[in-house]
Amino acid sequence: MTIAHIDRVTTDSDWEVERERLLSQRISDIGLSLEGTVLEKLVTQLYVELDQRGLTFRPPVYLSDQWGCPDGTPLIGVPFYLADARLARIEEDFAFEIENENDVMRFLRHEAGHAFNYAYRLHDRADWHELFGPYSRPYQDRYRSDPFTHQYVRHILGWYAQKHPDEDFAETFAVWLTPGIDWRVEYEGWGALRKIEYIDRVMGEVGDVQPDTPELTDDDLPVTAMQYTVAEHYRDIDDALPVSDPRIFDGDLRTLFGKLSEMPDRDHAGEFIRLHRREIVGRIAYWTGEPAAVVRKFVDLVAERAETLELAVRGREASTLIELTAFGTAVVMNYRYTNDFTGERPAE
């Protein structure tokens, strides 16, 4: 179940009317608030967990456009759609899955790690640099990851700790904070254990120190400052895929599927892909860590090519889904490394 329990409108036509009305509204005019929501309860749970660890700092949490601590400030922004079931349903149209309560707590603990890092400027410490690396390292949207390394904890999907030293710290903090995890046992023999032990020691040093917390401003993009429509929000994040020629996938699709002309009684491949679209997108996004919106556009492109090539499902449904998901995962991982769906590496 999602955090914003999505109550279905009586009829599809009623929902379409409501959906179009919401899409045309400015986010700042919808009147969104944490108060009285499940999200408010989960923020309280985060604060309880911090208290149980002996930490006095309570990072302020507010509704914004996405998860994050803006510009290195110890303030936690959470996606606005989590505070409204109707907006969550619109988000579901684009991302297919909405964070459930466990997901939200996972992200809140992660963002709390960023907030503590910034509030106490831990990233300026020499011992922080020694363990996590240079905080000044540039961020990259696409990053190489090693799924077999023991030098990083595993918390958010997609080996996120390997993205940047700041993310490594936040992920390590989140593991340390999570109730019910015996991290000394779970990470025994791993290089990542030193990082968790560091968090344990440093939080003991700063736990009773109340840091200065900046006031929330429009620069932090609270919902009151989001003076653009819901439709414009999704238009801004719905960029086209970097695919110069979609025929690049034709050979793979002909391997996965057969010719419709040779087996007219079989399911059309394009229809098959669209029928299982949510499952395929969810699995690929889960294993690659790539946003579901990006994976969705790739899957839609593949379905269009399958229709153009007039392909049909050759074998059993289950095995075809497995092969299709494996193919998609390989392509999307190439995208993470190259920022291009062809798999070609950019010139140095």
Largest alpha-carbon pair distance within the chain?
Answer: 73
Q: What is the pLDDT, as a whole number, of residue 140?
A: 76
Q: What is the pLDDT, as a whole number, of residue 308?
A: 95
Q: What is the pLDDT, as a whole number, of residue 238?
A: 58
**Per-residue pLDDT reduced to its tens digit, 255-277:** 999 999 998 888 899 999 999 98
**CB of 169 closer than 8 Å to CB of 177:** no
Say how far apart CA 282 and CA 300 lie, in whole Å.
Answer: 13
Q: Is the pLDDT of residue 116 over 90?
A: yes
- Which pLDDT band, with edges at 50, 70 and 90, does 50 fall under? very high
Distance (Å) of CA 290 to CA 53, 298, 303, 339: 32, 11, 19, 12
- Look at 129-133, 162-166, 322-326, 344-348 and tell me which has the smallest mean pLDDT: 344-348
Paired sense of beta strands 61-64 and 76-79, if any: parallel
Say how far apart CA 75 and CA 206 lie, in whole Å.
Answer: 18
- Which pLDDT band, with edges at 50, 70 and 90, does 144 fall under? confident
- Look at 164-173, 254-263, 314-323 and tell me which has the smallest mean pLDDT: 314-323
Helix ranges (H only) for 133-180 are 165-177
Q: Is the pLDDT of residue 77 over 70?
A: yes
Q: What is the pLDDT, as a whole number, of residue 22?
A: 95
With 0-12 / 13-18 / 19 or more C-beta atoms within 10 angstroms meaning exposed / middle / buried, residue 84 is: buried
Residue 342 or 266, more confident: 266
Check the CA dihedral 304-305-309-314 and report its sign. negative
Q: What is the pLDDT, as a whole number, of residue 346?
A: 46
Residue 314 or 60, more confident: 60
- Which pLDDT band, with edges at 50, 70 and 90, does 314 fall under? confident
Ranked by mean pLDDT, the top range of 113-122, 144-153, 245-254, 332-341 is: 113-122
What percentage of the chain exceeds 70 in pLDDT?
91
Q: Is the pLDDT of residue 24 over 70?
A: yes
Residue with tokens 């020499």: 126
Averaged pLDDT, 27-47: 96
One-character DSSP codes across 56-88 = -----EEEESSSB-GGG-S-EEEEGGGG-HHHH
**Per-residue pLDDT reduced to its tens digit, 185-194:** 999 999 999 9
Q: What is the pLDDT, as a whole number, of residue 182?
A: 96
Helix orientation angle between 12-23 and 85-95, rounded to the nearest 10 degrees: 90
Averaged pLDDT, 41-64: 97
Closest CA to 165 of 141, 203, 129, 198: 129
Token output for 161: 């700790």
Averaged pLDDT, 131-140: 91
**Per-residue pLDDT reduced to its tens digit, 200-218:** 999 999 999 999 999 999 9
- Which pLDDT band, with edges at 50, 70 and 90, does 43 fall under? very high
